[in-house]
Chains A and B, each alone.
Chain A
Amino acid sequence: MTGLTEIRIDGRGGQGNVVAAYVLAQAGFEAGRFVQAFPSFGPERRGAPVAAFVRISDRPIRRRCQIRQPSYVIIQDASLLNVPGITQGVHPGGGILINSSRETEGLALPVGVKVKAVPATALAIQFLGQSIPNTALLAAFLTLTDLLPLEALQRVLSRRFEGEALERNLRLMREAAAQVSPGSWKDAGCDRCN
């Protein structure tokens, strides 16, 4: 399906990766795209590896199958890199965004895909006083990929937060966006049939 981008968000139960998927999809909706977001189905346990998925498209999304070969993977927790297979399935030419305070070059990752580390948890602690990496990760992701304008994320955040909490999230969003190179992953969106 042309104009379809598929994304997987890997995290641990309780880290809010389903929320991240829903927020990303809602940002797509705010930007006038067709969207679908869903968790990995079934029972979940706090702390165990879990995945959530997002489709963003120019056309209505009717398929209900799983995403096996995402264009992009967002990893919320760098310790997941120790889980066998966690980086598998990324479409050749795709990208993996990792929440890590380490340098990108120091991470053991597959070849043939773009990789970027962003210290989302450290930034979240700095700006929010809490270790919730979603805002920083999504801001960095949208800036790297140019998939949606950052204003779309801002509109979703404005619906979920208010007052001081919103201001802190918006400052975090701008700082995380400033830490990556805008549009450098722009052409990794892979149109295909899974």
Chain B
Amino acid sequence: MIDAIEGSAAVARAVALCRPQVIAAYPITPQTHIVENLAQLIADGKLRCEMVSVESEFSAASVVLGAAASGARAYTASAAQGILLMTEVLYNIAGLRIPLVLTCANRAIGAPVSAWNDQQDSMAMRDAGWIQLYCADNQEAVDTTIQAYRIAERSELPVMVCMDGFTLTHTLEPIDLPTQEQVDSFLPPYRFKRALDPLSPITIGNLVTPEYYSEARYVHHHALLRARAEIAAADQDWARISGRTCGGLVSVDGPEDARVGILSIGSVMGTLYDARDEFPDLGAVKLIKLRSMRPFPAEELQGVCAGLSELIVLERALSPGGGGIVGAEVRAALCEMEPAPRIHNFAAGLGGRDMPLKIYPALLEAAKAPQATRFAILDVDLTKVAEEDR
């Protein structure tokens, strides 16, 4: 049923439709409304689930690790410093191949402290071995949450559903919430075949010597690469039930013959779609939505970028001293293409800075430079920066 509801409330309802058995979370803005809503659903008797109150995000991640390891369908959510505090446990969850779903309500990382949105928190977890899916709107956040459980359980990998904090979590808009029957038909009860069982004891997470560590890493890496098929299939199968697709691993929108493309990730896609309509005189532009950051869809991206002469990568985080994070991956994925597009890499919208419609002409203008921009922060205002720091 379509209703106008807040993104966080919608995600909480989507989680509840997946029938989780254990939820543990520690409140942090802008994630709080999601777990508040889940706590309310449990208190109202609408969701039968154990909610574990914990004293930190480290414990929240540890509780859901244990719950999922014992076979429960589990859920947690966090953001920013909370995600960082979970780091050690997140690596363990992934390495142990525990199926789990976590919502990251994307927020900037301190210092300097920022309560606002960018994607530095989840990008900092890029190498933790989790699947990472980014949502362009709240409908995608709902649908991706439901898909995430199936992907996690079939691939035995944890899935981080990344939704922009405030921009999505605190925004009310029309959202089609699926029925319980639809979700049940997509997501049957789960039985984790390696679940901890006192009647059949096993050890997990034990010491691995140099004789086997590389093989463990190989298996984990290849499980993530194989998960590409699972992500695409989950989106297609959910589309058959719901009538909606989230765009699989990476999707493209725009005229076939466009020579210019803008690739981005997360909720800024909506602004770019509207901006392209507002500035029709700026020529044909393909808008490329990267949904799966991990696994990174290198081959699919090559297909999507075929025929482009200019590709602008717009992202919401950076690796200081390196440059763009998404940009570097895109460049690596496309360098073998013949001919490969020129790649212009920009970060913008850091720490909650608004990305107005005018970012679209600014990006297209920047792509006309004789030398492609390796990396720059597009909306930096150097008049605010001390002379010696420019």
| Chain A residues near B (Cβ < 8 Å) | 1, 21-22, 25-26, 28-29, 34-39, 41-43, 61-66, 68, 193-194
Contact B166 A34 (CB under 8 A): no
Bound Cα distance from A18 to B137, whole angstroms: 20
- CB <8 Å contact, B356 and A41: no
Please state if B174 and A66 are interface contacts (CB–CB under 8 Å). Answer: no
0 or 1 for each of B269-312: is its CB under 8 Å from A? (1 = yes): 11101110110000000000000000000000000000000000
Q: Is A35's CB under 8 angstroms from B116's CB?
A: no
Answer whether residue B354 sits at the interface, using C-beta atoms and an 8 A cutoff.
yes
Chain A residue numbers with a CB within 8 Å of B268 are: 64
Distance in angstroms between the alpha carbons of A21 and B173 in the assembled complex? 11
Find chain B residues with CB under 8 A from A193 CB.
278, 357
27 contacts between A and B (CB under 8 A): A22-B6, A22-B172, A25-B4, A25-B172, A25-B173, A26-B4, A28-B4, A35-B172, A35-B173, A35-B174, A36-B171, A37-B4, A37-B172, A39-B170, A41-B167, A41-B352, A61-B274, A62-B137, A62-B270, A63-B270, A64-B164, A64-B168, A64-B171, A64-B267, A64-B268, A64-B270, A64-B271
| B275 partner residues in chain A, CB cutoff 8 A | 63
Q: Chain B nearest CB: distance from A33 CB in Å?
A: 10
Query: How far is A28 from B172 in the complex, measured between Cα atoms in Å?
Result: 12
Give Cα A63–Cα B269 distance, bound, in whole angstroms. Answer: 8
Interface range for B = 20 to 34
Q: Is the CB of A65 within 8 A of B354?
A: yes
Q: Say if the beta carbon of B355 comes within 8 Å of chain A.
A: yes
List the B side residues contacting A68 at CB < 8 Å: 356
Chain B's closest residue to A34 (CB) is B174
CB distance from A117 to the nearest CB of B (A): 28
Closest residue of chain A to B29 (Cβ to Cβ) is: A43
A67 → chain B, closest Cβ, in Å?
A: 10
A38 to B170, Cβ gap below 8 A? yes
- A37 near B171 with CB under 8 A, answer yes
Q: Which residues of B contact A42 (CB under 8 A)?
A: 115-116, 166, 352
**B117: Cβ under 8 A from any A Cβ:** yes
Q: Which residue of A lies closest to B354 (CB)?
A: A66
Q: Does A35 lie within 8 Å of B357, measured CB to CB?
A: no
B172 and A38 within 8 A (CB): yes
A103 to chain B: closest CB distance in Å? 35
Chain B residues within 8 Å of A, Cβ to Cβ: 3-4, 6, 29-30, 115-117, 137, 164-168, 170-174, 267-271, 273-275, 277-278, 352, 354-357
Find chain A residues with CB under 8 A from B171 CB.
36-38, 64
Max chain A CB contacts within 10 Å: which of B4, B164, B274, B278?
B4
> Shortest Cβ distance from A48 into chain B, in angstroms?
14
The one of B30, B165, B273 in contact with A62, judged by C-beta atoms closer than 8 angstroms, is B273
Separation of A40 and B294 alpha carbons in the complex (Å): 31
A194 to B355, CA, bound (A): 11
* Set of chain B residues within 8 Å of A66, measured between Cβ atoms: 354, 356
Contact (A36, B170) CB under 8 Å given A1-B274, A63-B271: no
Q: Is the CB of B4 within 8 A of A35?
A: yes
Considering the chains assembled together, what is the distance between the CA atoms of A12 and B168 in angstroms? 23
Known: A35-B4, A63-B357, A64-B268. A1 touches B170 (CB 8 A): no
Interface pair B172/A64, CB less than 8 Å apart: no
Chain A residues whose CB sits within 8 angstroms of the CB of B116 once the complex forms = 41-42
With both chains docked as a complex, state the minimum distance between the C-beta of B36 and any C-beta of chain A, in angstroms.
Answer: 14
Instruction: Return the chain A residue nearest B279 by Cβ.
Output: A193
CA distance A63 to B359 in the complex (A): 12
Taking the closest CB of chain B, its distance from the CB of A69, in whole angstroms, is 11
Residues of B within 8 A of A34 (CB): 174
Whether the pair A29, B267 counts as a contact (CB closer than 8 A) is no
Most chain A CB atoms below 10 A, which of B6, B116, B174, B267: B174
Which among A29, A37, A43, A65 is the interface contact of B355 at CB below 8 angstroms?
Answer: A65
Contact A65 B356 (CB under 8 A): yes
Other than the given A35-B4, A38-B166, A64-B270, 11 more pairs (CB < 8 A) read A1-B274, A36-B172, A37-B173, A38-B170, A42-B116, A62-B270, A62-B274, A64-B267, A65-B355, A66-B354, A68-B356
